[in-house]
Chains A and B, each alone.
Chain A
Amino acid sequence: MPQPLHPSLPAVLADRAGRILHFLWSGWAGLAALCVLAAAWQAGHETYGAFILASPLATLREIGGLALEPESWSTAAMTLQRAVTGFALVAVAGVVLGVAAGYSPAALRITAPLITILLGIPPIAWIVLAMIWFGGSDATVRTVIVVTALPVVFLGAAHGIATRDRSLDRMAEAFGAGPLRRFLTVGLRQTTTTLFPAFALALGIAFKVAVMAELLANAGGIGGALADARINLDIAKALAWVVIAVAMLLLVEYTLVHPLKGEIDRWRRAAQPWGVRR
C-alpha cells in the first residue's frame, strides 16, 4: 500500500492538538518559576515595607485598576506598537545583511569589528542622538531599537549561514538545484538554529529599549507612564507598568516567536520525544 505523503485531516488535527497540549503543558514550568519570583518579591516587600517595594498583590490590584482605564490601554498599545515595529525592522534588516555577510567570509571579517563597536556603544548614547534627530516620536524609539538589537540578529543570521552543512549544498547541487534554489531550500533553512535564539534576544531588547527610550525622550507610552509614577513616588503603579511591559513581551514571544520556531523545528522534537534525548 502506498504511504500517503500528506496524512489525512484527522491525523493532522490530532497531531496539531497534541502539539498544542504539549506546548501548554510546558507552561507549568514557567508558572512555577513565576511563583518563586513572586515569593521572593513578597519577602522583599515584608522586609522593606510598602513604600520601598509594594507587595505583588498590591501591584496586581494596581494593574486591575489600570485595566479599567481606556487611556492606559492606549499607553500600553503605543509601546507595544513601537517595540514590535522596531523588532520587525531589526528582523528584516538583520536577516538580509547577516545572510549576505554569511556567504562572504571577507564581509564577515570586516563587519565583525564594526559589530563589536556597535555592541559597545551604550543604548543611552543612541537615545540622546535620536532625540536630537527625531524629537520625542516613534522614530526615536525605533531607531534606538534598531541600532541596539541589529547586531544580535545580524550575528545570528551570519553564523547560521557560515556554519551551515555544506554537504547538503553539494547534495542539492548534485541533484540539479541552482544557486537561488539551494539558498532558499537548504541555506536559509539552516540559519534557524542560530536565528531563533537571536530573535528571542532581540525581542527582549526591543521592549527594554522601547521603555527606556520613552522614559528618557519623554515620548509617552509605558516609559512615559513610569516617569509619571516616579514623580508621584507611586511605587505600586511603577511596578504595575513594569509587570505590564514584561507581560506584553511574554505575550509576543509566546504567540509569535515560539509557535513559529515550533513549526520549523518539528524534526528536533522527533529526536527528543517527551523532552528526553534519545
Chain B
Amino acid sequence: MTGLVLEGVGHAYLGRFVLEGIDLRVAPGEIVALVGPSGCGKSTLVHVAAGLLAPRAGRIERAYLRHAMIFQDPCLMPWATAAGNIAYVLGLAGVPRRQRTRRIAEVAAEVALEAGDLAKYPVELSGGMRQRVAIARALAVRPDFIYFDEPFTALDVALRRRMQDLVIDTCAGGRLSGLFITHDLHEAVRIAHRIAVLDTRGHGILGERPLPGDPESRDDATVFRWVRSALAGDPLFRHIHDVDERQVA
C-alpha cells in the first residue's frame, strides 16, 4: 500500500499551466519534503494533492484513511477558543461530542498546550502558540497522512526549531506519513526521510535525494554537512534559492 501517488498531475490558473507532469510517491510512514524556490507552485501542488483544488491533468491516488493539514497561517477561527477550534475539526471528523473533551486533552498534552491555553481565544495567543494549536488540531483527528504547507515560515528561528522537533517527535516511528512543503533546505533535511525538488516553473519534479538515517536520530552536524555539500556540489539544488517576486504563484 502506498500513502500518496501523484502521476502526471498538472494544474492551470486562468489558462496558464503552473504545474505540469508532477510524479511523486509518498510511502507509508515516510515524510517527503518538497522543496523549490518561491513561487514555483509548491503550495498549489499540496492543495491539489489534498483535494482542495481539482487537478487539470493526471491521476491522484490517496491510499490513506484520513488526512489533516497544517497551513502557513495557523487558520484558527478567531471566534472560537483553542479548544473550540480543535473541537470543530473533531466534529467534522464525526467524533461524538462526549469524546471530544478527552481527545482535546490528549492532543493538547502531545503538543505541550496547557489547560489555560485551551480556554484562550486565538487573539490572546502568541504566533508560536497559535501554530501549536494548529498542529494539535491536525493531530486531533488521528490522521495517517499530514500535509504541511510551509507551516513554520512565519515563525522566528528558535520557535521554528521547536516546532520542527514537535513534528519529528509526533511523526517518529512511522506512525504518520506526510508531504512537507518548504523552501528552507535546512528544515527539509531535519524533518524528512527524502527530499524532492520541484522545478522552478513547476514543470515536473527535477529529482529526489534520500536522506541519511531517520529524522529523529539525525543530529545537527549531519544536517549541516548534508545541506552544505548539497548546495555546493549537487546540481539539483542549484536554483533552490532563486527568487522571482514577479512570478505569480
Q: What is the interface of chain A, defined by CB distance below 8 A to chain B?
A: 1-7, 167-168, 170-177, 181, 185-186, 189, 264-267, 270-271, 278
Bound Cα distance A176, B52 (Å): 10
Bound Cα distance A6, B47 (Å): 35
Number of A-B residue pairs with CB-CB distance less than 8 Å in the complex they form: 75
Nearest A residue to B147 via CB reads: A174
Q: B121 is contacted by which of A6, A176, A270 (Cβ under 8 Å)?
A: A270
Which B residues lie within 8 Å of A172 (CB)? 92
Which A residues lie within 8 Å of B79 (CB)? 189, 264-267
Q: B119 is contacted by which of A3, A175, A176, A278 (Cβ under 8 Å)?
A: A3
Which A residues lie within 8 Å of B147 (CB)? 174
Bound Cα distance A231, B119 (Å): 62
Nearest B residue to A271 via CB reads: B123
Interface size class of B (residues with CB under 8 A): 35 or more
Which B residues lie within 8 Å of A270 (CB)? 120-121, 123-124
A175 near B123 (CB under 8 angstroms)?
A: no
Q: What is the interface of chain B, defined by CB distance below 8 A to chain A?
A: 47, 50, 52, 67-69, 71, 73, 75, 77-81, 83, 87-89, 92-93, 100-102, 104-105, 108, 115, 118-124, 141, 147
In the assembled complex, the CB of B129 is this many whole angstroms from the nearest CB of chain A, namely: 14
Given A3-B105, A173-B52, A174-B50, A168 and B75 contact (CB-CB distance below 8 Å): yes
18 A-B interface contacts by CB (under 8 A): A2-B102, A2-B104, A170-B47, A171-B69, A174-B67, A174-B69, A174-B147, A175-B68, A175-B141, A176-B93, A177-B92, A186-B77, A267-B81, A267-B121, A267-B122, A270-B121, A271-B124, A278-B123
B101 near A189 (CB under 8 angstroms)?
A: no
B102 near A170 (CB under 8 angstroms)?
A: no
A189 near B77 (CB under 8 angstroms)?
A: yes
Which B residues lie within 8 Å of A173 (CB)? 52
Nearest A residue to B105 via CB reads: A2
In the assembled complex, the CB of B79 is this many whole angstroms from the nearest CB of chain A, namely: 5
In the assembled complex, the CB of B22 is this many whole angstroms from the nearest CB of chain A, namely: 19
Bound Cα distance A189, B69 (Å): 22
Q: A167 is contacted by which of B68, B71, B81 (Cβ under 8 Å)?
A: B71
A3 near B78 (CB under 8 angstroms)?
A: no
Which A residues lie within 8 Å of B83 (CB)? 3, 5
